Amino acid sequence: MAAAMNIEKRDPGIVLVLALFTCGFYLIYWYLKMYEEIEMLCGETPTGNSFWLDFVLYIFSCGVFGIWADYRISEKLNELQRQRGMMGATDSTTLAVVLDIAAYITGMFTNYITSAIQQDQLNKLMQHGAPEQTPYRAELPAPY
């Protein structure tokens, strides 16, 4: 699980605050990192497309594609939780879709909450499945 060492732990509250403070621009960076980290863990991005292709699809669909992308991110995180035996882990797929649709319909920023929830899931996943933080010690050959 060497890839887990490259996963950055981000505070979900900070993700939410930065999303609000930057009017959502921080989330472009956050989604890019989330795609990279899920690809490291699963071997593929949440949607199977590159982040940049999905970003273009998001723009051309006036945000509707973002609902699908958030659903797939939540699905991938749930799949990783099951693989690691995290019993009782939160399934956020329905909540992600509801918050994203609410944001799309009302113009509110409830979709920012989805990102904070997903970041929290990733943090818990890495905390649960991360290897021990012991330094590597090479074994020296025994003297003759």
Q: What is the pTM of this model?
A: 0.80
pLDDT reading at 134 higher than 80: no
Q: Please say whether the beta carbons of 77 and 125 come within 8 A.
A: yes
Q: Please say whether the beta carbons of 92 and 116 come within 8 A.
A: no
First to last CA, the chain: 35
Structural domain total, the chain: 1
Question: Quick one: pLDDT band at residue 142, thresholds 50, 70, 90?
Answer: low
- For residue 21, the number of C-alpha atoms closer than 13 Å in the C-beta half-sphere is 7
pLDDT reading at 136 higher than 80: no
Integer-rounded Cα Rg, in Å, for the chain is: 18
User: Would you say residue 21 lies in a domain?
Assistant: yes
User: Would you say residue 136 lies in a domain?
Assistant: no
Structure tokens at 53: 């292709």
CA-closest candidate to residue 122, choices 77, 63, 88, 91: 77
User: Would you say residue 127 lies in a domain?
Assistant: no
User: Would you say residue 101 lies in a domain?
Assistant: yes
CA-closest candidate to residue 81, choices 8, 73, 30: 73
Domain holding 23, by residue range, is 8-122
User: Would you say residue 139 lies in a domain?
Assistant: no
